[in-house]
Copies of this chain bind each other. A is one copy, B any other.
Amino acid sequence: VNKRPVGVFDSGMGGLTVLHECLVTMPHEDFLYLGDAARLPYGPRPLPEIRRYAFEIGAYLEAEGVKLILVACNAATSAALPGLQEALSVPVVGVITPEAHAAVQATRNRRIGLLATKATVEANRYGELVRTLDAGARLTPVVCAKLVPLIESDDPFGAATTEAVREYAEPVKHAGCDTVILGCTHYPLIRPIFQRVFGRDVTLVFSAEETAREVAETLARKGIENSPDREGGYRFLTTGDRETFRTLGQRFLQLPLGEVEQVTIAQLEAAAA
Chain A interface residues toward B at CB < 8 A: 20, 23-28, 155, 157-159, 161-162, 192-193, 195-197, 199-201, 228-229, 231, 250, 253-258
Expressed in whole angstroms, the minimum distance between the Cβ of A158 and any Cβ of chain B is: 6
Q: Given A20-B192, A197-B231, A228-B200, are A253 and B157 also a contact pair (CB < 8 Å)?
A: yes
Interface centre among A25, A26, A27, A162 (most CB of B within 10 A): A27
* Top 6 closest pairs, chain A to chain B, by CB: A24-B195, A159-B256, A27-B196, A24-B192, A192-B254, A27-B199
> Which residues of chain B are within 8 angstroms of A258 by Cβ–Cβ distance?
159
A38, B261: Cα distance in complex, Å: 46
CB-based contact B228/A24 at 8 Å: no
Q: Give 21 A-B contacts (CB < 8 Å), ordered by A residue.
A: A23-B192, A24-B192, A24-B195, A25-B200, A26-B200, A27-B197, A27-B200, A28-B200, A157-B250, A158-B256, A159-B258, A161-B256, A192-B254, A192-B255, A193-B255, A193-B256, A196-B231, A196-B255, A197-B231, A199-B231, A201-B228
CB-based contact A23/B256 at 8 Å: no
Q: Which residue of B lies closest to A193 (CB)?
A: B255
Q: Which residue of B lies closest to A25 (CB)?
A: B200
Expressed in whole angstroms, the minimum distance between the Cβ of A20 and any Cβ of chain B is: 6
> Which residues of chain B are within 8 angstroms of A253 by Cβ–Cβ distance?
157
Q: Which residue of B lies closest to A24 (CB)?
A: B195
> Which residues of chain B are within 8 angstroms of A20 by Cβ–Cβ distance?
192
Which of these, B193, B195, B197, B255, contacts A157 with CB under 8 Å?
A: B255
Q: Which residue of B lies closest to A158 (CB)?
A: B256
CB-based contact A196/B157 at 8 Å: no
Which of these, B27, B195, B200, B201, contacts A195 with CB under 8 Å?
A: B27
CB-based contact B157/A254 at 8 Å: yes
A193, B228: Cα distance in complex, Å: 17
A200, B256: Cα distance in complex, Å: 19
> Which residues of chain B are within 8 angstroms of A27 by Cβ–Cβ distance?
195-197, 199-200
Expressed in whole angstroms, the minimum distance between the Cβ of A63 and any Cβ of chain B is: 28
Not counting A27-B197, A161-B256, a sample of 16 additional A-B residue pairs whose C-beta atoms are within 8 angstroms of each other reads A24-B195, A24-B196, A27-B195, A28-B200, A155-B250, A157-B254, A157-B257, A158-B250, A158-B256, A159-B256, A159-B258, A192-B254, A193-B255, A196-B255, A200-B228, A201-B228
CB-based contact A196/B159 at 8 Å: no
A193, B195: Cα distance in complex, Å: 23
Expressed in whole angstroms, the minimum distance between the Cβ of A24 and any Cβ of chain B is: 4
CB-based contact B25/A157 at 8 Å: no
